[in-house]
Structure 1
């Protein structure tokens, strides 16, 4: 059933108000100049177009209008909506996986259209269901897209709605920038402290580089046995949805403590929970992945309920050892040096690589006295606290945006009743973290 729209709004169809400008550019035309190029990979990587030599573009593309919205038709469950304005000083082209959209009349703002195409109402509508059954190449059917209907407010309210949502986007981008900068600082500091330590003036050369003279060179296999390692559990997708929390490979960033607020659940037997349960101080290492992500590592702390881990990772649980900190070993495993070590020992198969428990045991480590291990871990705990706080704020802002998209684009909440500054300046609430 089509829902009612607020007084003064109308319900419109894409084909009535939007033109899909699929003007083709042949490779011969492209090869004659430098091109402002919009592609899906560059959208995912930076969100900004790149300038390329047109002769490097090996197939025809669409011309990008000066003022438009680019909507990616490929894999519509991953929203890729690009609000584009360019000067026209050079030829602009986009992948044919994008549709260049422009208004047919002046009754819709492109900024408002962008947010409409990012909304859950659009992404989950049956008309936008993929036209292909191939999982990695699902596409929106153009004829179905053109039939999509949505509520359209008058231009002044469109402008206000777009301004509000743009402000939330700016807050999201600013928070993401802080997180990225913090990760950069952490990475540089990790390299420094794992090779130079704290306050050392005397160093020695070892098989893995220069280290403080008082540190000892070892391997993980010298510090514990293979019984400290365990591969995770596999369960088919039809068992997911309820039960026990499970860590999957997309739940964490390399070198960061696990955020357990977004974990899925899976049905398990009591014996399986007992065998694969995680506890404080465990380390998870990704054992099967693409080469660039192989060995991705997270540290387990502050779990609020019983949690297990899936089969493409292994659990490292260090035995009680008064001279060795599990968190210090975790920092070693997250370093660029160990990433290179994993890549050198990776077993290659079709579209993926793997490492084994023997590879973990062979990892070379330099180990300072326990007191210095703890001091190094305290430094990184303070950085981790900053990352956790900013990730919680980012999650809150993204949840806020989803809610505003639903409420503002349907008229459920009107712009004149919204206190945006209060919402943007709010601390991330516990319920947002536990969503």
Structure 2
């Protein structure tokens, strides 16, 4: 008698070892990004003598545009060829990045390095997101995304702090970027030797998947998924615009806030502290907000988080002291922590497992396109009305995004929907 094959087990406990390994891998992905947060804006100003803010932000435009497009292909490729090959490709592309930043003779080399960094982040970070969603199944997506994004952004914070200290003692180059080279070596080694393919988990879940009311079952063309995520499906498209605006204000924070703090006379270690506080509270907060969204729903966290970010940006625009900037950075990180894992969890709630990887990739296309849009907008506005004026405008856009989610998005988490007895399930 032949035994009936048993599919892979879903759930955090059943896949704990592989899940924790992917958390570590994503921390390394985030750490590579963190090598730039403190040092690169000052490098452009001090070594390459860039005076126009729009010119100085070209590396963020290159990074954001490349990462956004790569996110799209990461989802499609991981559906077609599997998750692990895409993850490995992301690490291979990253190998030259720290070396190019160390030896860059012109700003063009820095921009080119950030094109490669965008490919790395789009392939590797997207794939760790998809793999964790595959492993945990539908019940604990908020927790999974909270842990994933917490690992990535805590690594960004720790590396921003470390590179600020290294730059203060050893100069802007090469010491801070040697840390990035070590991250690439360890990340590639772990991904090659220990990470296992998870596409089978998604196929197993697809057999018993229960969709949110109004969502689409079965396989869809990539064009159909794109229209759903971009504008047609209320929850998916609301998440996409909120993600774009979230990273728009992060592009502003990454590219211009260190310059604002330096102009106020802050030392490199203090700038490093401010550059680290925001992603640190962003990362730590997600450990709390992700699981809470599994209990209380996605929509409240997204709305409140966007409005909290708007308040924090207004405080940064008006502040003139280290203490107030530190408080605003903490508030900005807390607001982002409410939004970041919750948006990804909402995409996972609505998208069918058969096309979920593509939905995640398209959402991340819009979200990380916010880096490029933010750098373009912030650079133009900063040249015209100054960094503080640009920050006020972005604060207003962030508040408007939160209000749009409040008006258009429905609750996507099934448990929260069942508990919301005062409103019809599936109402928009």
Q: TM-score, normalised by structure 2?
A: 0.27
Whichever structure has more strand as a proportion of its residues is 1
TM-score by length of 1: 0.26
Higher normalized contact order (CA 8 Å, seq sep 6+, divided by chain length): 2
